[in-house]
């Protein structure tokens, strides 16, 4: 039997550093072999990669930035091979230290317009709150 394209669930995952995530390869019962790939490279059991007995479930422990990427499962039987669409696993981090730009702002004339931008690296994107002399500024 020709194998249909397998699917990986979830198809997109946001994982915190040192977190754990599990992906499942949903495929036909006639698949004899299930393999996992990360960015096109074959994966196997290790201290941090745990495969179920039928290889249909992959669990990654102690997630690091280096584990982020595209995960796929590949299924095989005697007559065909098929590979899933990638499941994207992204590291959730931050927000890193916020900085205000421009950082070299000098005294400005009273009443002049000044535009400040707050920048911080974070996944997912951060939300910002502004304060003036410890009092929060509302829109």
pLDDT 10s digits, 87-116 = 999 999 888 888 989 888 888 899 999 889
In the sheet that holds 7-9, the strands lie side by side as: 7-9, 21-26, 57-60, 49-51
pLDDT tens-digit map of 6-49 = 999 999 999 999 999 999 999 999 899 999 999 999 998 888 99
Q: Which CATH number fits domain 7-92: 2.40.160.20, 3.40.30.10, 2.60.40.10, 1.10.10.10?
A: 2.60.40.10
Q: Where are the beta strands (DSSP E) in the chain?
A: 7-9, 12-16, 21-26, 33-38, 41-43, 49-51, 57-60, 69-76, 81-83, 87-92, 99-101, 117-119, 130-132, 135-137
* pTM confidence score: 0.76
Q: In whole angstroms, what is the distance from residue 37 CA to residue 39 CA? A: 6
């Amino acid at each position: 039997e020709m194998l249909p394209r397998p699917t990986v669930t979830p198809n997109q995952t946001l994982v915190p550093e040192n977190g754990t995530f599990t992906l499942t390869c949903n495929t036909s019962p006639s698949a004899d072999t299930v393999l996992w790939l990360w960015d096109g490279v074959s994966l196997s059991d290790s201290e941090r990669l745990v495969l179920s007995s039928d290889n249909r479930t992959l669990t990654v422990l102690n997630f690091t930035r280096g584990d982020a990427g595209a995960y796929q499962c590949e299924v095989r039987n005697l007559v065909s091979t098929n590979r899933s669409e990638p499941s994207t696993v992204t590291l959730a981090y931050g927000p890193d230290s916020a900085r205000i730009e421009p950082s070299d702002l000098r005294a400005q004339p009273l009443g002049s317009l000044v535009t400040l931008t707050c920048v911080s690296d974070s996944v997912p994107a951060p939300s910002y709150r502004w304060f003036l002399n410890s009092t929060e500024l509302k829109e």
